Amino acid sequence: MKIDFDQAVLLLKQDKVVAFPTETVYGLGANALSDKAVANVYKAKQRPSVNPLIVHVHAIEQAASIGHFSDVAQQLVHHFWPGPLTIVLPLRPDASVSTLATAGLQTVAIRLPELDSARRLIKAVNFPLVAPSANPSGCLSCILFDQVETLFESKMPVLWGEESQKGLESTIVDCTTEKPIILRHGVITKTRLETFLGMSCQEAKPGDSIKAPGMLLRHYAPTLPMYLNRNFPENRQAFIVFGDPDLGTIPQGAEVFYLSKKSSLEEAASNFFKILHLIESKGSFESIGVMPLPQKGIGIAINDRLSRGANQE
Ligand code: TXA
Ligand code: MG
């Protein structure tokens, strides 16, 4: 259900849930200070309430009233905010964020989005917004207004916006330990973080105690079986490629989907969820095959989403 900016502000002030665009993916916003509003998000998303939410702010000062900034955290946000970086900080004892939003943890994930309309929205309501990706739990994230409409069967109020430019969820960095730990890969790569900080960043590995359930093995799942590291399409297969490879004759019912013909990983990231949604919406394929993508730069974040959505053979 399409709504305008003023309606979004009004609904959010009434503890309602509103989907809104950000530069990464669309989010399901609600008042982070209100238990009732946050409970509505978990319900709308059918998300287990043990999985905490990211608190979105419009200014660094707003973040400083919620989380306790270490030196590293300060440096990171002054460089990368506003932008697709979420930092996890110790929760300030005097912060008024709903305990449901942090799932009762003593830490809090915070992000200052880059998209102007998202920041204006947070400023206009005058409270921070929790915003998980705007998709029912386990479904694909959305980067287009129409995708949110479809997944929530037009019942969710959605603030219209342009396509999310980055196309992948934010990079999450845990700043509660002495050395930062990457909890989720995203558009801001490990190399960029390390080069900027001048130190190495650890990565959370699957099987580590789960700090971000985005780390759960199966998470970003299309409904079709998906097979990685393929070189040729099979019958009735949606075949995702990077670059513009020569595939010879395409088998019956198969179709090729190009992440980036010019082999740009940025472009591939921004097309990734769009292509998966398109494949699902066509309804004519039996499976998805994916050619290998370079395991470097943003390719790491794309491969991470792929491996969590793929089937093992
Ligand atoms: O790009 C994004 O980050 C999007 C847009 C809408 O901002 N949001 C998003 O939210 O991806 P969500 O809820 O789908 O993912 C948030 C991740 C989850 O994996 C959650 O476990 C983790 O952040 N998280 C939240 N609070 C945390 C905390 N205190 N410690 C560790 N992980 C946390
Ligand atoms: Mg998500």
What tokens does 190 get? 């490990």
- Tell whether the model's pLDDT for residue 215 goes beyond 80: no
For the chain, the residue count is 313
* Cβ proximity of 89 and 107 under 8 Å: yes
How far is CA 230 from each of CA 12, 46, 54, 289, 292, rounded to the nearest angstrom? 45, 34, 35, 6, 7
Statement: residue 231 has pLDDT above 90: yes
pLDDT higher at 219 or 92: 92
Interval between CA 213 and ligand 2 midpoint (Å): 9
pTM: 0.92
pLDDT of residue 205: 72
Q: Quote the ligand 1 centre to 54 CA distance (angstroms).
A: 5
pLDDT tens string 89-98: 999 999 999 9
The ligand placed nearest to the CA atom of residue 26 is 1
**Per-residue confidence band for 206, with pLDDT thresholds at 50, 70 and 90:** low
Average pLDDT, the chain: 93
Task: Render pLDDT for 104-138 as a digit per residue (tens, 0 to 9).
Answer: 899 999 999 999 999 999 999 999 999 999 999 88
CA distance 138 to 18: 19
Look up tokens 């019958």; give the residue.
Answer: 235
Residue of 107, 133, 208 to test ligand 1 pocket, by largest number of atoms within 8 Å of CB: 133
Report how far residue 254's alpha carbon sits from residue 75's, in angstroms, rounded to the nearest whole number: 48
As a whole number of angstroms, the distance between CA 45 and CA 294 comes to 33
CB 75 within 8 A of CB 197: yes
Helix or strand run (H / E) with residue 150: helix 145-151
Residue nearest to atom 27 of ligand 1 (CA): 109
Q: Contact 300/190 with Cβ under 8 angstroms? A: yes
pLDDT tens digits, one per residue of 184-201: 999 999 999 999 999 999
Task: Using the mean position of ligand 1's atoms as its centre, give its distance from the Cα of residue 170 in Å.
Answer: 8
The span from the CA of 44 to the CA of 42, in Å, is 6
Distance CA 134, CA 139 (A): 9
User: Ligand 1 site: residues with CB under 6 angstroms?
Assistant: 22, 24-25, 27, 51-54, 86, 88, 102, 105, 107-109, 111, 131-133, 169-170, 172, 183, 211-214
> pLDDT at position 29, please?
98
